[in-house]
Amino acid sequence: MPEQSDHIQIPRHVAIVMDGNGRWARQRGRPRTYGHKVGSSKVHDIVEESKELGIEVLTLFAFSSENWKRPKSEVNFLMELMIQMLKKEIRKLEEKGVQVRFIGQRELLPEKLLKVIADSEARTRNNNALILQIAASYGGQWDITRAARVLAEKVARGELLPEQIDEKTLAAELAFSDLPDADLFIRTGGELRISNFLLWQAAYAEFYFTDVLWPDFSVDEYHNALRHFSGRQRRFGQTGEQVSG
Ligand code: FPP
C-alpha cells in the first residue's frame, strides 16, 4: 500500500503521462481513437482542479517523440484532436488566467497545429494562475540532446569554455528552464515506465503510478495522487534526519 496522508501538500509542478486510452477503447470494442477522444475530455477537469489547488505548473504528455511511429491515421487523429481541443478551450483558459505553453520538437508538427499553438501562447502569455504545458513531439532525450548542441555551438563560437559546462549551464538550455522541475510525476495505465518524458526535470520527482486508464482518471484519482505525494518525505540526497531536523 502506498503511504497516504490526510494533509495535502501541494506540489509546485505536476507532470502526467496520460496512458491507457487505447486499451480503454478496446475494452469497449471501440477504435483506439475513441479512447483518445474520451481521454481528451478528462484534461479539462484536471486543469481546472490544478488551478483551484494552486499548482503552478501542469505538464501533460500529449504526444511523444516516439508516437510518430504509430499508424498515420492515429497520428493525424491526435494532431487534429489537439487542434480542436485548443480551439474549443482557449477562450476559457484565457479568461481563467491559464498560461498555455508547448514544449517539443515544433518543426515536426503540422502547420495548422503550429498556428493554433502560436495563437494560444500569444493570447495567454501574461496569465499566471496556472502554467499548462503541453508536451507534443517531446522526448526527454531530445530535450537534453538539443541543450547539449546549443552548448557545443557556444563553445565553437568561443562564447563558452568546455570547463564552464556544468549542471546549471546545461539546465539553462532545456525546455522550461524558467520553471521549477517536476515535483510529482503521475502515470496512468499501469505501466511502470518514464517512456522518455521528463528525464532531467524529474530527477527529484516523486512518482505515482496507477492502473487506472486515463479516460477513467477523475479528480478523486488526482487527489489520491496528491495525498500520496503529501505522505512522502523529500530528501534531495540528504538523510531523513537532516531534512526533518
Ligand atoms: C496514451 O494512450 C495517450 C496518448 C498517446 C495521447 C494522449 C493525448 C490526449 C489525451 C489528448 C490531449 C490533448 C491535449 C491538448 C492536452 P495509449 O494510446 O498509449 O493507450 P494504450 O497504452 O492503452 O495503447
Radius of gyration over alpha carbons of the chain, in Å? 19
Q: How confident is the model at residue 1 (pLDDT cuts 50, 70, 90)?
A: very low
- pLDDT (tens digit per residue) in 194-240: 999 999 999 999 999 999 999 999 999 999 999 999 887 666 677 77
| Contact yes or no for 110/72 (Cβ under 8 A) | no
**Is the Cβ atom of 23 under 6 angstroms away from ligand 1?**
yes
**Is the Cβ atom of 62 under 6 angstroms away from ligand 1?**
yes
- pLDDT (tens digit per residue) in 153-198: 999 999 999 999 999 999 999 999 999 999 999 999 999 999 999 9
- Measured in Å, residue 236 CA sits from the centre of ligand 1 at 31
109 backbone φψ class: left, alpha, beta (φ>0; ψ -120 to 50): beta
Q: How confident is the model at residue 7 (pLDDT cuts 50, 70, 90)?
A: low
Which atom of ligand 1 is found nearest the CA of 23?
A: 23
**First-to-last C-alpha distance (Å) of the chain:** 27
**Is the Cβ atom of 65 under 6 angstroms away from ligand 1?**
no
Give which of 225, 201, 206 is closest to 61, Cα–Cα: 201
**Is the Cβ atom of 113 under 6 angstroms away from ligand 1?**
no
- Measured in Å, residue 21 CA sits from the centre of ligand 1 at 6
**Is the Cβ atom of 20 under 6 angstroms away from ligand 1?**
yes
Cell, residue 89 = 478551450
- pLDDT (tens digit per residue) in 12-49: 999 999 999 999 999 999 999 999 999 999 999 999 99
Residue 183 annotated in active site: no
pLDDT at 103 over 60: yes
Q: Which residue bears the cell 517536476?
A: 182
Using CA atoms, how far apart are residues 70 and 8, in angstroms rounded to an integer?
Answer: 38
Helix (H, G, I), strand (E, B) or coil at 83: helix
| Residue among 45, 67, 181, 196 flagged as catalytic | 67
The least confident of 1-15, 58-72, 199-213 is 1-15
pLDDT at 99 over 90: yes
Using CA atoms, how far apart are residues 222 and 169, in angstroms rounded to an integer?
Answer: 34
Beta bridge partners of 184: 14, 206
Phi, psi of 100 (to 5 degrees): -100, 130
- Measured in Å, residue 19 CA sits from the centre of ligand 1 at 6
Residue 19 annotated in active site: yes
